[in-house]
Chain A
Amino acid sequence: MNPRGDSTSGSDGAPEPRRKSKKPKYSRFTQQELPACKPLLTPAIVVTTFAFIGIIFIPIGLLSLSASEQVVEIVYQYDTDCIPEQLQNDKVAFIQSSKTNKTCTRTLTVPKNMEGPVHIYYELDNFYQNHRRYVKSRSDKQLRSKASETVTTNCAPEATTSDGSVIVPCGLIAWSLFNDTYSFAVNSKIIEVNKKNIAWQSDKEHKFGSDVYPKNFQMGGLIGGAKLNASIPLSEQEDLIVWMRTAALPRFRKLYGRIETNLAANEQITVTIQNNYNTYSFEGKKNLVLSTTSWIGGKNDFLGTAYLTVGSLCLFLAIGFIILYLLKPRTLGDPSYLSWNRNPDGHY
């Protein structure tokens, strides 16, 4: 049906004036006749898609799983272990007192060959670094440059000292800096821990200024964590930088350092832990983790398992659909499937 209005043109030589046509200008866009591709979901495409997904996913799953299996991990929970027997009843008092001996020496056995670099992490549990008030409590401007030292807008209650001078770095995140330390030895020979380059490069170069030095830090009555060396600029305080990257979940690991050498299987590593950090007030847990990495990162079988599951599910679906199409074939474009042919009494 021609949607266009009629236009009349006066005949040649007639005295009748030519009536102006009111027909709107034709364009494919306004008439909705743009060239289009109209793909159809045929059985071939359905089966091919599922089979394709299955064929791609299963190898990826196997690769991920094998990478994760290659990772060697040692996890040691030391928060309850490192408190002497007699003081187990009042852990909070133990950790808060400055007179108790916080050194804790333990032995870890290497289960399999660990190829360097072996990464050292501290893992905290039940510590909500993702709590809103905690996440907000920092001043990015102050961290970047000395000129913005006094910008402490969101940092309360750790913004200024009692006499009004500004705290650098301010805020709860910096105040609660983790301060346990670890040192390692094998056969009484100390293993060196490389604490350089544990933070992201962009953090060190652009987020934490090289002219910003800690000032009035942890001077208040309530000590939340580590003290900072006031002569080292923030851009080199890598522990602080790593800590300031708030974790997503209440159970998280943060990089402490790396051991560049290999660790042989069945080696006995003596680890000396300074158990300073107070997680006892909120029933948090502390773990020490030594882990190698693969191209996919640390040990996590979930990715590989998920890929294998979805891949095999897709293959089953492909086979299922093949069976369906064989058992109940329907020629495409068969007009007997139109509703007026299926219900011939014409009742719509």
Chain B
Amino acid sequence: MQISDAHEMVKLEKDPNAAFALIIDGKTLTYALEDDLKNKFLSLAVNCASVICCRVSPKQKALVVTRLVKEGTGKTTLAIGDGANDVGMIQEADIGVGISGVEGMQAVMASDFSISQFRFLERLLVVHGHWCYKRIAQMICYFFYKNIAFGLTIFYFEAYTGFSGQSVYDDWYMLLFNVILTSLPVISLGVFEQDVSSEVCLQFPALYQQGPRNLFFDWYRIFGWMGNGLYSSIVIYFLSILIFYNQAFRANGQTADMAAVGTSMFTCIVWTVNLQIVLTMSHFTWIQHLFVWGSIATWYLFLIAYGMCSPVISGNAYRILSEALGPAPIYWAATLLATLSCNLPYLVYIAFQRALNPLDHHVIQEIKYYRKDVEDQHMWKRERSKARQRTKIGFTARVDAKIRQLKRKLQKKVSSLSIQTQP
């Protein structure tokens, strides 16, 4: 009954800035968690700004704080704790954060993330959480893209071989594709990519919201990348086939065999896929440069090295770059055309998006790039404060509440003064 009364009180409160706090202790919690009361208790609790449960047992921590909230509201829950009694809660929550320190290492061992001080939670979420979300989303989408672009070209070729299973590429090319030629750039993307720097992440917590709103890993994006892969595979395959068709490809009159066409097609894929990741990344350290341009250089070096191995090993790829393809202008022309044609749609898309519908981190990147935060400190501070979501608890909320109180008092005084001064 107390719960129903409290519920009514919360509902009736008209002031949007009023904040309610619910305080409950362990003994009462046992009753509140019974099946008939559970849901009412939960709906009351989520309407409050903060809920304080004291003297709860470890089991109740897991039951209440996590299982009830997790299943009742369907939201992602995070639990943070430092003692052995928090282990149940940490494991039950979707994300468990353990604090290593005074009370021992049990919480750390049971948790997904461990930090050394409670105040680091802000940095964990707002900086690393934001970065990791972006990195993982981009990495997965890019992986789909590059393997679709590569695999489908092999598939198209089958239609031209009577579906006999002959691959247009040499076995070594296919082995190396995912191992060394295209894997290192995407690893560097996943480890080092930062859309905005850590200071900006901390100053603009609203950027973190891009994660919960799932802006970067929704189905549109996934299918968009797959479509990009499909388009790239079609362009690369048909351009290579039609350019090297059946006529001579050198001034000396030789025609292209399967090794020449396969090598040229593979060169186009390596260039396209690596140029695509350059367009995706926004943060280039020396590592990214090394991996991306190094991967492309590795491909050419491999061709030369493989070509120098005895023909018993390299077969028809013997000296293919140095003798057949290297001196042929058509090979380099085909690579240039295929690479740029495949990357054009993506370039158009991002140019369009940045022009008409820029996302928050685009605007902030521009502000930082043009140093407008330095020139116009006032604007920067203002945007920073706007970026903080209105909350009902915490230091800023108390300050705001005090300000509102003072304002109300001032208004009353002004209105009473004006009544007095009216003739």
Q: Which residues of A are at the interface with B, using a C-beta cutoff of 8 A? A: 1, 3, 5, 22, 32-41, 43, 46, 49, 53, 57, 60, 64, 117, 119, 121, 123, 128-133, 135, 140-141, 144, 198, 200-202, 206-207, 245-255, 258, 291, 293-300, 302-303, 306-307, 310, 313-314, 317, 321, 324-325, 328, 330, 332-335, 337-341, 346, 348
Bound complex: CA of A338 vs CA of B160, how far in Å? 52
Residue A34 contacts which of B285, B334, B379 (CB distance < 8 angstroms)? B285
Cβ contacts under 8 Å, B352 to chain A: 324
Bound complex: CA of A33 vs CA of B127, how far in Å? 13
A299 touches B247 (CB 8 A): yes
For chain B residues 304-329, which have a beta carbon within 8 Å of chain A? 310-312, 315-316, 318-319, 323-324, 328-329
B206 touches A310 (CB 8 A): no
Residue B57 at the chain A interface, CB threshold 8 Å: no
Known: A133-B164, A202-B319. A298 touches B249 (CB 8 A): yes
Most chain A beta carbons < 10 A, residue from B283, B337, B383:
B337
Bound complex: CA of A133 vs CA of B164, how far in Å? 8
B370 touches A333 (CB 8 A): yes
For chain B residues 381-399, which have a beta carbon within 8 Å of chain A? 383, 386-387, 389-390
Cβ contacts under 8 Å, B319 to chain A: 202
Q: Which residues of B are at the interface with A, using a C-beta cutoff of 8 A? A: 116-117, 119-120, 122-123, 160-162, 164-166, 168, 192, 194, 198, 202, 206, 209, 213, 239, 241-262, 282-287, 310-312, 315-316, 318-319, 323-324, 328-330, 333-334, 337, 340-341, 344, 347-348, 350-352, 354-356, 358-360, 363-370, 372, 379, 383, 386-387, 389-390
Cβ contacts under 8 Å, B354 to chain A: 41
Closest approach, in angstroms, between the C-beta of A25 and any C-beta of chain B? Answer: 15
A298 touches B166 (CB 8 A): no
A140 touches B312 (CB 8 A): yes
Q: A130-B161, A200-B324 are in contact. List 16 more A-B contacts (CB 8 A).
A: A1-B119, A5-B116, A32-B192, A40-B369, A64-B333, A119-B248, A128-B164, A135-B166, A248-B261, A250-B160, A296-B330, A303-B333, A306-B242, A310-B341, A324-B352, A341-B386
Please list 17 pairs of residues, one from A and one from B, whose beta carbons are closer than 8 Å in the complex, sorted by A's number.
A32-B194, A34-B192, A38-B368, A40-B366, A117-B253, A129-B258, A132-B161, A132-B165, A198-B253, A200-B254, A206-B310, A248-B260, A252-B246, A253-B247, A255-B248, A293-B252, A340-B206
Cβ contacts under 8 Å, A128 to chain B: 161-162, 164
B116 touches A144 (CB 8 A): no
Known: A39-B284, A60-B333, A293-B253. A339 touches B383 (CB 8 A): no
Known: A53-B340, A348-B389. A335 touches B367 (CB 8 A): yes
Cβ contacts under 8 Å, A34 to chain B: 192, 285-287
Bound complex: CA of A293 vs CA of B372, how far in Å? 59
Bound complex: CA of A121 vs CA of B272, how far in Å? 34
Residue A141 contacts which of B262, B287, B312 (CB distance < 8 angstroms)? B312
Residue B389 contacts which of A32, A57, A200, A346 (CB distance < 8 angstroms)? A346
B387 touches A340 (CB 8 A): yes
Bound complex: CA of A135 vs CA of B168, how far in Å? 11
Closest approach, in angstroms, between the C-beta of A346 and any C-beta of chain B? Answer: 6
Bound complex: CA of A193 vs CA of B316, how far in Å? 27
A119 touches B213 (CB 8 A): no
Most chain A beta carbons < 10 A, residue from B247, B282, B334:
B247
Closest approach, in angstroms, between the C-beta of B84 and any C-beta of chain A? Answer: 21
Cβ contacts under 8 Å, A53 to chain B: 340
Cβ contacts under 8 Å, B333 to chain A: 60, 64, 296, 303, 307
By beta carbon, the residue of chain A nearest B341 is: A310
B243 touches A246 (CB 8 A): no
B251 touches A246 (CB 8 A): no
